[in-house]
Amino acid sequence: MSKLQKWQILTSKMVLNHRWCQVRQDEVKLPNGQVIDDFFVNIKPDIVVVLPITASREIIFVRQYRHGVGDFFTELPAGRFEPTAESPENAGMRELQEETGYIAEKLTKIATLYDNPSKETNKIHLFLAENVIKVSEQNLDITEEIEVILIPIESVLEKVTQGEISVAGTIAALFLGLQLISNIKSA
């Protein structure tokens, strides 16, 4: 049995409450008795990341500008959602179609991960979308300008090791999802 103890929250207040960014300031008492009066937590919605694979074994990626680091990234279709308003599965199907125009014949949960649990509240829900087909044009948000790219499965690892694919959630979905496909095919 673990002797680890949770931190005790003494006070908590929202210091930034904007629709795009929420930050909470906690005063916490550590198990060793020390008090930290300015521990900041980012309140973030959950994220869904979809690994879409066509029947011809191509993975659907999106390439877009990410303002936080000021550069373009090749990543899997993804988006934020509120779990109280939408299931992770529905969010995955919606984001896939909105960003790419593709839908999946089958959606399988890969895993649920935490991106930065020391400072952020959200989960990342990873899904495998199999036998995806294009059924429509993209339906993008005002902040999105997205290029859809199809990459053969066999080329993906090289693109990761060369740094062409470098977003953590995308890499986690790729490695876990492709392992899941290998296990299914070998069973």
pLDDT digits 0-9 by tens, 46-65: 999 999 999 999 999 999 99
Question: Domain count of the chain?
Answer: 2
**Within a domain: 3:** no
**pLDDT top residue among 185 and 27:** 27
Q: Which burial class, exposed, middle or buried, applies to 51 when counting CB atoms under 10 A from its CB (0-12, 13-18, 19+)? A: buried
pLDDT tens readout for residues 81-96: 988 899 999 999 999 9
Count helices and strands (H / E) in the chain.
3, 12
- Same domain? 54 vs 76: yes
> Does residue 52 contact residue 59 with C-beta atoms inside 8 Å?
yes
% of the chain residues with pLDDT over 90: 89
14 strand-pairing partners: 24
User: Over 70: is that where the pLDDT of 187 sits?
Assistant: no
Q: Which range of residues forms the domain containing residue 119?
A: 46-186
DSSP code, position 7: P
- Same domain? 36 vs 107: no
- Same domain? 179 vs 99: yes
CA–CA dist 71, 88 (Å, integer): 28
CA–CA dist 113, 90 (Å, integer): 18
DSSP for 61-118, please give it: EEEEEETTTTEEEEE--EEEE-TTTS-HHHHHHHHHHHHHSEE-SEEEEEEEEES-TT
- Same domain? 19 vs 86: no
- Same domain? 29 vs 89: no
- Same domain? 114 vs 164: yes
Q: Look up tokens 């999105």; give the residue.
A: 144
**Within a domain: 2:** no
- Same domain? 13 vs 83: no
pLDDT tens readout for residues 105-149: 999 999 999 989 999 999 999 999 999 999 999 999 999 999 999
User: Over 80: is that where the pLDDT of 183 sits?
Assistant: no
**Within a domain: 109:** yes
Q: What is the largest CA-CA distance in the chain?
A: 59
Coil, helix or strand at residue 3? coil
**Within a domain: 159:** yes
- Same domain? 104 vs 157: yes
What is the C-alpha end-to-end distance of the chain, expressed in Å? 36
